[in-house]
Structure 1
Amino acid sequence: MKLLILGTRGIPARHGGFETFVEKLAPFLVARGWEVVVYCQESGKGEVSESEWQGVRRIHVPVAREGAAGTILFDWKVAKHAKREKGLCLTLGYNTAIFNIVQRLSGQTNVINMDGIEWRRDKWGLIAKTWFWLNERAGCWVGNHLVADHPSIKEHLATRVKAEKITMIPYGGDEVLSADSALLQPYGLTHDQFSVVIARPEPENSFLEMVRAFSQKKRNHTLVVLGNFQPEKNAYHHAVMQAASDEVIFPGAIYDAPVVQALRFHARFYLHGHRVGGTNPSLVEALGASCAVIAHDNQFNRWVAGESAAYFKDEAGCSLLFNQLLNDTTRAHSMKEISRKRFHERFTWQQVLEEYEQLLSSWCQPPHRVER
């Protein structure tokens, strides 16, 4: 059984949720007897090279361009290279699914994780939205089978293809039972005396609504807003920071995993304002850290967090929740317990990885099926 993993920048993880997922899945499958190949994006010019990481064969593909153009070029090179390898493909994301016609035409089986509904995101302009919409359609066609990470994503994809062509497997997370509170000291924070927002600072993630709601009056509490804010370049970032009271702090983007873990684990509340997407990795990680969650009220967040979270529709609703919950220690403790229960119900890595192996194994058995 051989698996080629496409669609990420590679391992070990330094970027997003898909890279973290591959960092979990690839060694898991190797331990189960699989041969696993992961394509890794490298900067610069040169020849394709190989290395090994925890028993995983890594193929390093250099690209001379940076940003989105570099990622597109990398995906094209990977699609062509993977065609020459024997094995099952797992492609993570559909952003360049049109390139996977190479796999389809060569008879190579390709399972595609269709991620979120990218073309609905507010941050993209018309050209980008059109590109994503076309590639979502392409992914539905060229993929032999599709993975949806959320029931609502499966429902959406079922308007494009037959439901039996789609398997729902969510994202996973690690359980956090403790975290070093000393890591909070550089930020002047103490256990349970702050709440935290961890996300990309974009309009669809409700930053402005949450900061305004918190800042309406003195809270005797600190709101920590993580993210790469550039108020001098980005009008939305400027508006969020202008709306903040002196009880809101902006420590920037923090990539040190133990620090982020400590911020989640020791927070009174974790705020999740995402309005678009499927199973969000950050929300799953919050459940794994037993966070009491305050989340935007939509079908994506409600399925993930379930009854463990308190939900708001708008700024007024968020402000009301702050008024009701910030000083209610009993309610916060109860919400934390329910979050841990929800995490164990559906989102442990063991559950998620075993479901992936079961699906992928079914596609390694001859004869190869072609689902349309």
Structure 2
Amino acid sequence: MKIAILGTRGIPNYYGGFEQFAEFFSVYLVQKGHEVYCYNSHNHKFQEKTFQGVNIIHQHDPEYKYGTFGQFIYDYNCIIDSRKRDFDIILQLGYTSNSIWFFLLPQKPIIITNMDGIEWKRSKYSRPVQQFLRFAERLAAISSDYLVSDSLGIQTFLKKRYKKDSTYIAYGAHPFTNPNETILEQYQVEKENFNMIMARFEPENNLEMVLDGVVKSNDSTPILVIGNHTTKYGEYLKNKYKNHNAIRFMGAIYNLEHLNNLRYFSKLYFHGHSVGGTNPSLLEAMASKALILAHNNNFNKGIIKQNGYYFANPEEVKNLLLTIKKNDNLQFIQNNFEAIVNEFNWDKINGEYLSLFEQCMARSKTGK
């Protein structure tokens, strides 16, 4: 099959979950003998024409100049380019800024869209933007040939709202089995004597809720706050907690080995995400044998079930900080790790996507 992947900033990953998936899945497809193309932003750090056998197509991306509006132009450029490539399948990762161009998609390829989370519920967006995202979600749902949901909650939502079936394929993670305690020296922390939270600096990821709980607890244990904080919201949080020495804003870290070791050796790992499907950083925390304290919502509960602790306000964060010990919860940690091995591992996820592609191609050829 000749396959294209659209909807990401590109590979290798320097940004987020979809980029990580695109990197792993595209390389997997090449290893299985398929011809794969991944669209990259023109200003992506990786400027080569191929990555581990995957063909890279750089397209102009003016997001740096126009902000969010630039994403629409980038997606337009990718879709226009795809019209001349004779692809068999186009996999769209997300719908936020590409669905309005659905009428420009080439007619021959099968269009498969991973619908991501319920984007219009994100509190960072103004009401007009939320209304647009609901419209974009509908366009993607009705214009794609096949839909993928990365959580059962999203699958149920799509069926209820759009009467559309979707294939449930979770996100994945690699089991982490090779810890290296010396890496901690670079971050000036000690084994099981620091906590951490990792997220984009957006209100619905509840960084402020967690950090308010840290302040309330008067706990002197360092908490590493990992994510790009050079944003308006990031500046607000840094200013709010500037007098609290235990709170350390680390910036974004993309070195997976370092992240895995930080998660593995952390005392408590807070996961504040409250919107979306199967969150990649949650699975990676499970794979790294972190003890997880998650925001209390159905998306997180659907993944870690009873094998973690939940919070819904700063007071609950404070109480967890003062009472929970990692050594008392080793079974939770092991249960989550086994879920990665058996359910959320990348080989299984990649295989399920490839199986879906093969089924879609077979249906296309038989007209069924």
TM-score (norm 1): 0.90
Considering only aligned residues, what root-mean-square deviation do their CA atoms show, in Å?
A: 2.4
Q: Is the 8 A contact 2:238 2:249 kept in 1?
A: no
Q: Secondary structure at the match of 2:364?
A: coil
Q: CA-to-partner distance for each residue in 1:162-190, whole Å, 9 max, x for gaps?
A: 34x30111111111112322222233211
Bigger Cα displacement from structure 2, 67-76 vs 218-227: 218-227
1:351-370 pair list within 5 angstroms: 351-367=348-364
Name the count of aligned residue pairs.
Answer: 362
Q: Which residue of 1 aligns with 2:292?
A: 293
Structure 1 residue identity aligned to 2:208: L
Quote how far apart the aligned CAs of 1:65 are: 5.4
- Residues 1:205 and 2:202 are matched in the alignment: no
2:125 is paired with a residue whose SS is coil
**Is contact 2:288-2:337 (8 Å) kept?**
yes
1:6 aligned partner, one-letter code: L
1:4 aligns with 2:1: no
Q: Which runs of 5+ in 1 are unaligned?
A: none
1: CA distance between counterparts of 2:319 and 2:100?
Answer: 46
Q: SS of the counterpart of 1:40? A: strand
* Alpha-carbon offset, residue 56 of structure 1: 1.5
Q: Which runs of 5+ in 2 are unaligned?
A: none
Q: Retained in 2: the 8 A contact 1:295–1:310? A: yes
Question: For residue 119 of structure 2, what is the aligned residue in structure 1?
Answer: 118
Moved more, 349-358 or 252-261: 252-261
Q: Contact 1:307/1:338 (CA < 8 Å) preserved in 2?
A: no
Pair 1:189 & 2:189 matched = yes
Residues 368 and 71 from structure 1, CA distance in 2 versus in 1: closer, same or farther, beyond 3 angstroms? farther
Give the counterpart letter for 1:75 in structure 2.
D
Note the 1:299-318 alignment, pairs <5 A.
Answer: 299-318=298-317
1:50 deviation in Å?
8.5
Determine the C-alpha separation between the residues in 1 that align with 2:341 and 2:217: 37
* Equivalent position of 2:265 in the other structure: 266
CA contact (8 A) 1:178 1:265 kept: no
1:150–1:64 CA distance, 2 compared to 1 (3 A): closer
State the match for 2:149 in structure 1.
148
Within-5 A mapping of 1:1-372: 1-43=1-43, 51-64=49-62, 66=64, 67-86=67-86, 87-95=88-96, 96-103=98-105, 106-163=107-164, 165-230=165-230, 236-238=236-238, 240-241=240-241, 245-325=244-324, 328-367=325-364
Q: Distance in 1 between matches of 2:366 and 2:199?
A: 40
Measure the CA separation in 2 of the matches of 1:271 and 1:70. Answer: 33
Change (3 A) 1:118 1:351: same
Q: Percent identity?
A: 29
Change (3 A) 1:93 1:121: same
